[in-house]
Amino acid sequence: MAANGVASIGECMLELSGQAGSNWRMGFAGDTFNTLWALHALTPDRPATYVSAFGDDPFSRDQIDFFSQNGIGIGGSPLISGARPGLYAITLTGAERAFTYWRADAAARQLASDPAALAKSLSNQALVYFSGITLAILDTAARKTLLSAVETARAAGSLVAFDPNYRPRLWQNRETAQAAIVEALAVTDMALPTFPDEQMLFEDETPEATAERFGKLVGEIVVKNGEQPALIAANGASQNVEAVHVATPVDTTGAGDSFNGGYLAARLAGHPPADAARRAHQVAAAVVQVRGALAPFETLRAAFGV
């Protein structure tokens, strides 16, 4: 059977958003899950798997049920007795968001605790996606286990996509983050960095410098830059693709993750990189007009043009 599924690896957390006085709305989100959500909405015929680790508490059960209700499985992800999900709260100033996290003992930190189960979850996938946050929540040994599993999936024919998504507070130090991300790029086909992150981590002066550095290891690079154009570097050529301006954004949470999902969906459908980036910008523009990280599937599909 030909590989057809899409798998995303990382941590899906409890999300508190939409604060109104003392009232909060609870949902489920996290960078790699947000990307898979958009990717699944836009490629509904492909089996979608979220690869992580989960607890056995009511919130973990609700999380897994939520995935299932929306057509997303968890593959061989381990269920850890006594563990629970991480939690974060979004506070907004206008449309700009700030995050407060409670995740130190989250179950997802054990996602590589069963190497055989991890490898099975990544087998027979058309696409495997992960991020720098996935790496950051793991210890050194677990990171090596994860990258070995990704490399095995790639050798078997999976396309591997990676967003470095640098978050300084998750890393012991800058040098550790740099080394881990370079190791990840060595098993990556398609990189989706964000320029301000790369500027902070590697002191790149321009998006072109980021693309040039990544191009030494990766064949296809999309350098995101907020409302500025995305820089596409692939097949020895580069091109800027203008972003979609939203005059009055509601909530920018998940915009970059949804861009990634739109881009990957378009590339899997056979669209060339520049067209995929245009579609991805439309998806991101739709997401910033709703609250929370996950836009309804219908909203994503309408923006994507399917």
pLDDT of residue 256: 94
pTM value > 0.85: yes
Give how many domains the chain has, as a whole number: 1
pLDDT of residue 222: 98
Look up tokens 């898979």; give the residue: 36
CA distances from 82 to 55, 61, 105 (A): 6, 12, 11
Tokens matching residue 119: 């490898």
DSSP structural state of residue 79: B
pLDDT of residue 105: 87
Distance of CA 123 to the CA centre of its chain: 19
Report the C-alpha gap between 111 and 109 in whole angstroms.
Answer: 6
pLDDT of residue 21: 67
- Please state at what angle helix 174-185 crosses helix 195-202, rounded to 10 degrees: 120
β-pair partners for 127: 6, 159
Domain assignment of residue 198, given as a range:
5-304
Half-sphere exposure (CA, 13 Å, Cβ side) for 117? 16
Q: Looking at the annotation, which residues are catalytic? A: 257
Averages of pLDDT over runs of 10 residues in the chain (306 residues) are 86 83 85 97 97 96 97 97 91 72 92 96 97 97 98 97 96 97 98 97 97 96 95 94 89 89 98 96 92 88 86
Assess contact for 261 and 127: CB atoms under 8 A: no
CATH number, domain containing residue 166: 3.40.1190.20
Tokens matching residue 44: 């509904």
Assess contact for 116 and 88: CB atoms under 8 A: no
pLDDT of residue 95: 58
β-pair partners for 98: 91
Half-sphere exposure (CA, 13 Å, Cβ side) for 20? 4
pLDDT of residue 112: 97
Burial class (CB in 10 A: 0-12, 13-18, 19+), 32: buried
pLDDT of residue 104: 85
Report the C-alpha gap between 195 and 204 in whole angstroms.
Answer: 8
Identity at 71, one-letter amino acid code: G
pLDDT of residue 99: 81
